[in-house]
């Protein structure tokens, strides 16, 4: 059945007219052995039956209606699931090369926007699962929820009945041109009705507030307008004088840091885990600029902020993108954590956040070049995803570690933190046009996290 994209997802979809702004997410799950393929296939079959969006494709709609999700009439599970032997070299390096190619390639947009590949025969006897999906299917938290539907808490896989959350086979609805137009007209009328009822409902309160507290009402309106401007303004120049070019070429890397130590460093510096994580990236960026003889102060950061509510269904994309500057030039890691905490809190509490769907809807009516300009000059992107806190198994094979590689969407680098048990696994996605010397950048990033971790070491 027809389900229209949220305005924020429609914004993400629209900006992909520039392929440098694609929202492709890649994850890598490292296993200690080969899982039972039949069980893996059955788990993904159950997933596609429980979550209709995993059997749906995106169809464009006439403006102002956003694109819509509709059942793919030719859904074939075996197109989305692949099983291959590990390429040379038969280790993590070879797996990351496969992940790099997946991150750079687009989807077949006539089909659902995901694939999963089992890579067997690693030289240590292990295996890996490479998953690729569009951000419109799910955000990081939703992705972890979905992963728990695939995983088991013991080496013995659960039965299909224990995994399923819904009963019965999903129906594929055949649609005609007239029914599509009827849905679009219904959406447009509903949008108009909500707008009218919202204005009529808010008008008496606004009028009363303006009479009782004219100065406060005017100040509040001004604060909201300023917040909307901060949310939608284009970034006209990179903060970095070094990382300027944007290309379609990517390089992936990974790094692991202890969860407990990073938390301790954050708490001792008056911040949260996410603040210490961002401060570690900032320290690496400062060192990278210094290595090239360049002084840097603040850099532009894009950070996904979850707006997921209790009761939201499994999966789905429930984030908004916050943009603010981070004090990269600060050499003191504790001060960097503290200031990052203050700036992140301001971004999380923007007055415009409750209206993000309305703002995104307005921006979707703007020219595509403007949409791209909002993100194309951002310096870096950081995403912190709370993962699975206990050891898990996939079809009999134990999960060693999981890495997530978020899209750069116009930035020079995206670093995604995904926790697993007591480890923070960092997925590093670099635009090699902006950062051509990946190895030098990687060493600087490791040093940046080392100086933050030192704050949490007794």
Q: What is the pLDDT of residues 111-136, one digit of tens each?
A: 999 999 999 999 999 999 999 999 88
Tens digit of pLDDT for each residue in 256-304?
999 999 999 999 999 999 999 999 999 999 999 999 999 999 999 988 8
Q: Provide the pLDDT for residue 137.
A: 86
Long-range contacts of the stretch 354-360 (C-beta < 8 A, 24+): 355/228, 356/8, 356/231, 356/307, 356/320, 357/6, 357/7, 357/8, 358/7, 359/228, 359/231, 359/232, 360/6, 360/7, 360/8, 360/10, 360/11
What is the C-alpha to C-alpha distance for residues 169 and 165, in angstroms, rounded to an integer?
12
Instruction: Over range 237-260, report the average pLDDT.
Output: 96
Would you place residue 398 in the very low, low, confident or very high pLDDT band (cuts 50, 70, 90)? very high
Give the global pTM: 0.86
Q: Provide the pLDDT for residue 62.
A: 80
Tens digit of pLDDT for each residue in 208-218?
555 556 656 55
Tens digit of pLDDT for each residue in 7-53?
878 888 888 888 999 999 999 999 999 999 999 999 999 999 988 88
For residue 190, pLDDT beyond 70:
no
Q: Which two tokens stand for residue 38?
A: 């039949």
Instruction: Over range 131-157, report the average pLDDT.
Output: 89
| Residue 368 main-chain phi, psi, to 5 deg | -60, -35
Q: Are 339 and 270 in contact (CB under 8 A)?
A: no
DSSP, collapsed to helix, strand or coil, labels residue 254 as strand
Tell me whether strands 380-388 and 298-306 are parallel, antiparallel or unpaired.
Answer: parallel
Which of these is catalytic: 135, 289, 300, 318? 135
Tell how far CA 417 is from the center of its chain: 11
Q: Which two tokens stand for residue 422?
A: 């007591």
Which parts of 56-174 are beta strand (E)?
56-59, 68-71, 81-85, 114-120, 127-134
Average pLDDT, the chain: 86
Question: Which residues contact residue 265 at a Cβ distance below 8 angstroms, ignoring those fewer than 6 apart?
Answer: 276, 333, 337, 452, 453, 454, 455, 456
For residue 431, pLDDT beyond 90:
yes
Q: Provide the pLDDT for residue 198.
A: 43
* Residue 135 a catalytic site member: yes
Q: Provide the pLDDT for residue 196.
A: 41
For residue 105, pLDDT beyond 60:
yes
Q: Are 424 and 449 in contact (CB under 8 A)?
A: no
């Amino acid at each position: 059945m027809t389900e229209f994209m949220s305005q924020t997802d429609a914004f993400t979809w629209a900006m992909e007219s520039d392929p440098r702004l694609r929202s492709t997410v890649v994850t890598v799950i490292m296993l200690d052995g080969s899982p039972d393929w039949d069980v893996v296939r059955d788990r993904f079959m159950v997933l596609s039956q429980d979550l209709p969006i995993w059997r749906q494709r995106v169809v464009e709609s006439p403006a102002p209606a956003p694109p819509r999700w509709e059942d793919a009439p030719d859904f074939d599970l075996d197109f989305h699931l692949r099983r291959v032997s590990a390429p040379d070299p038969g280790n993590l390096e070879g797996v990351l090369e496969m992940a790099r190619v997946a991150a750079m390639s687009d989807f077949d947009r006539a089909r659902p926007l995901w694939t999963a590949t089992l890579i067997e025969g690693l030289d240590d006897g292990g295996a890996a699962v490479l998953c690729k999906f569009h951000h419109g299917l799910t955000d990081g938290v939703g992705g972890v929820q979905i992963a728990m539907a695939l995983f088991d808490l013991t080496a013995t896989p659960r039965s299909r009945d224990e995994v399923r959350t819904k009963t019965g086979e999903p129906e594929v609805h055949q649609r005609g041109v007239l029914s599509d137009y009827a849905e679009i007209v219904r959406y447009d009328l509903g949008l108009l009705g909500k707008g009218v009822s919202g204005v009529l409902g808010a008008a008496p309160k606004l009028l009363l507030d303006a009479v009782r507290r004219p100065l406060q009402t005017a100040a509040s309106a001004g604060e909201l307008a300023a917040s909307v401007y901060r949310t939608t303004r284009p970034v006209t120049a990179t903060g970095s004088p070094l990382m300027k070019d944007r290309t379609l070429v990517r390089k992936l890397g990974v790094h692991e840091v202890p969860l407990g130590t990073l938390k301790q460093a954050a708490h001792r510096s008056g911040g949260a885990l996410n603040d210490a994580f961002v401060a570690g990236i900032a320290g690496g960026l400062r060192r990278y600029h210094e290595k090239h003889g360049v002084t840097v102060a603040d850099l532009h950061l894009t950070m996904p902020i979850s707006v997921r509510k209790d009761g939201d269904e499994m999966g789905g994309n429930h984030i908004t993108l916050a943009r603010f500057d981070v004090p990269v030039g600060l050499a003191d890691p504790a001060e960097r954590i503290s200031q990052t905490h203050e700036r992140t809190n301001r971004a999380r509490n923007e007055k415009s956040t409750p209206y993000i769907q309305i703002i995104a809807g307005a921006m979707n009516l703007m020219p595509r070049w403007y949409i791209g300009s909002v993100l194309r000059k951002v310096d870096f992107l950081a995403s912190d995803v709370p993962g699975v806190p206990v050891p898990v198994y996939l079809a009999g094979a134990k999960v060693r570690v999981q890495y997530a590689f978020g899209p750069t969407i116009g930035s020079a680098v995206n670093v995604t933190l995904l926790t697993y048990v007591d480890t923070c696994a960092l997925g590093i996605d670099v635009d090699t046009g902006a950062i051509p010397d990946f190895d030098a950048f990687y060493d600087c990033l490791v040093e940046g996290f080392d100086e933050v971790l030192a704050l949490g070491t007794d």
